[in-house]
Structure 1
Amino acid sequence: MSASTGGDAGVARLRSLHQGRAPGDPLVLPGPWDAASARIFADAGFEALATPSHGVSLSLGYADGETPADEMFAAVARIVRAVDVPVTADIERGYGLPPGQIVERLLESGAVGCNLEDSEGGELVDPRRQADFLSQVHEAAEGRLLINARVDSYLRGSEAPLADALERGRLYVEAGAECVYPMRAPLGDIGVLAGELKVPINAWSPAGDSPSPRELGAAGASRITFGGGLAHLARAAVKELAERLRDA
């Protein structure tokens, strides 16, 4: 593992990439699903990568949310080993592992950051319970991981998603989250969240569709990720290739 991809240097680099972003120039983090795709994104000049749990699950033959922890962490480690840029990992809600073990597994993989979501079994977790969980992860990490707190208010049918996302975001930032990820928040809400929470906001971009990363950045997002969207585009391309070969 290169000193530039992991450890203190890697997390410092990842943190620095989140700061001082000009409007319309967010940090764009492609989501590699395996080592080969990670190398392609790194060779294209992207300064950091963010593994998507959905995309990695597809690459391993699992449905989203069904990948065993050991296989997910092993896949993250293969991606980290393949590139010389910092890698942050989506690990859902930690696979039921205690906070100290989550941190240990991430550091062993070489990741320098993580996404942790606040829904479980399709339901939003109580925000104070989630904040306590994040606080324990933050304490165990001792600054060695950048924690991106995913907020699922817009995904799980909250009656007032912006108000709910703000409440959750404030609690999560107090607990040690350095970035907040209100997945699928509309453009108009991103700026409100950025202004109120005072930390970088991670926005989700529908790969190849609108709103674009630049539009999301102009709205107030400092960081852009794609979920499993890039893996789905690649899967569609392989499916088309397979059909052409079958019919040739």
Structure 2
Amino acid sequence: MYGDLASIGAGNALLIIAQLFCAGLIVLTLDELLQKGYGLGSGISLFIATNICENIVWKAFSPTTINTGRGTEFEGAIIALFHLLITRNDKVRAIKEALYRQNLPNVTNLAATVFTALVSNLYFVSQLLYNRAPTNILVRILGKWQDSEGGQSIPVGGIADVAKQLRDNQMVMKGHRDSALIHVLNRYIPTAAAFGGMCIGALTVIADFMGAIGTGTGILLSVTIIYQFYEAFMKETMEEGAFGF
């Protein structure tokens, strides 16, 4: 990965091995610390999400300049957009170049990244829109939310509803006993799960085709990890409030 041993030299090779070994020990130690109660969640997951987020932010705002043969360009998509608008007389052509430039991050890649992140974080987007416009039909199709006794909002309708949350919150279905609820839901849950899996797969492939920064799989993984940390943080906050800490 780092080159031929004859070209990099034995000394450099040993330094690389030592660096990777020490870095691995640090990562594992931090992961153990988080899991032993000195933090929230998994350290490995946190490092993965941080790395992906860092990559996205860097590709969007990197001030590094690169000579591509057409002159000096900024690596960051957003900085390159403003640089092209300022330095080019033809503003329309400057915008097109910022949107579709090759071999460097462009605005289209960044837009695909943002779109993928929003779609994969359906709960957050649905809850935010429902709080703003609860009567809008499109928002209600996306998800309907209701405040529970614990103060948390739970999905009770729309695309965001799930069977586990129905059972966890002791909700019942009209015309069916609680013991029969699982049999009724089993008619729909496998289809919904399969369709959801296909949607996630399609979203990942489309994101990669559109050149999303961090890859579609990386973005979905990062969003999932961040949401899990958010849920863990809210749970810890609620528990501390309940015990008066």
Which TM-score bucket, shorter chain as reference? under 0.3
Q: TM-score when scaled to structure 1? A: 0.24
Report which of the two has the higher share of helix: 2
Report which of the two has the higher share of strand: 1
Q: Which one has the largest radius of gyration?
A: 2
Of structures 1 and 2, the one with the larger relative CO (CA 8 A, separation 6+) is: 1
Q: TM-score when scaled to structure 2? A: 0.25
